[in-house]
Amino acid sequence: EKRNMAARGLFKGLLGAGGIVVAGVAWLPHPIAGDMKEHYGTLLYKKVAWPVLRRIDPETTHNISVQACAMGLTPVDRVKDSKTLSTQVMGLDMSNPLGLAAGWDKQAEAVVGALNMGFGHVEIGSVTPLPQPGNPKPRMFRLEQDQAVINRYGFNSEGAEAVYLRLRELRKNPVRGVVGINLGKNKEGDAVKDFTYGVERFGDVADYLVVNVSSPNTPGLRTLQKRSELEKLLKAVVSSRNKHCPTKPVLVKIAPDNSDQDLVDICVVAKKVGVQGMIVSNTTNDRPDSLINAEGNKQETGGLSGAPLKDKSTECLKKVYVLTEGKIPLIGVGGVGSGADAYEKIRAGASMVQMYTRLAYEGPYAVRKIKRDLDNLIKKDGFSGVSECVGLDARAKYPAPAKTGLFW
């Protein structure tokens, strides 16, 4: 018992020392200071903050995190990103390719705080034209040992006007990184009208615009990925973009559950219509047998995200990269929680990478660690920049598609 007490005392002392270290180096921009802050900050998060947060229901924890970020209570990465990570995609300059995926800051409340954590870009939303509450609660469920979450939020949104006003205020001052807007449709809305309205409303405050046709939590939304429906929708969106904000890239976000033929159709439409990018992928309806499912939440309805999605979304990414012949920039998302995960996405075809779910499990200091490890991995393989690595594994695994016509 005395030994246990001594061990607990030593552990508390180390945590206390860690807190002092984090506070002491917080304002220093040197890489060594950044590494110390990341190491001890992660220790404090996992040993002190997370044991408390995990006792609170997931949606409340999510909201607490967003508000803490909005109030400037999340860490600031003051270390300049390595030149190796600097990249330009869709005409947008970023200091690094790592971004915060849509779904975390749905209402544009914490953009500055998120960028200050070290993300190269942040994607807001999904934002619907009119306010809507989303699906009934509870609608978010943890699978902690699986490093996963199931959610069925259903596009809960304060509506385009509220989000637009926040972003307009944000744009009064220079913004550190790239800000994308993920557009959704109202539950009872018309897809073409809702998405084109989003383009018109956010064209002057967004760096890029995303047509989200892949959430599993809005009835009928995924049917918009079918060839004829998708072509009709994207033509209308691109036409609206050309009229209201001709310089802003339009992207489409797809599901990982599409068949190979569906992927072919989607990529044909993407090339034909001329979107500037694709996001691969959204959450999955699948429930892998590998899930530990300690909480018993496996059978909850909704989209599964986090570590169990990584392999499936990465394979989907490889296929899309080859189908688009590497000509359409891709954003890889799904299960990213480490530098190795981010590098795997890039080699699978992603020019940019996003994370969300595993940020809750790894903590806010993970952003710095992912960037550092990604930088080391790129250099270790003899490359000088992100663009040199894009699609290497995709091209090695999947042959180029046979062309049978103008667009295959």
Phi, psi values for residue 353, rounded to 5°: -135, 145
Of 1, 41, 53, the closest CA to residue 17 belongs to 41
Catalytic residue among 214, 215, 281, 313: 215
Tokens representing 86 are 């600097």
- What span, in angstroms and rounded, lies between the C-alpha atoms of 15 and 104? 29
Active site residue 215: yes
**377-390 CB burial, b ≥16 within 10 A, e <16:** bbeeeeeeebeebb
**251-263 CB burial, b ≥16 within 10 A, e <16:** bbbbbbbbeeebb
- DSSP at 377: H
Instruction: State the burial class of residue 290 (Cβ atoms within 10 Å of its Cβ: 0-12, 13-18, 19+).
Output: exposed
Phi, psi values for residue 178, rounded to 5°: -90, 140
As annotated, the active-site residues are 215
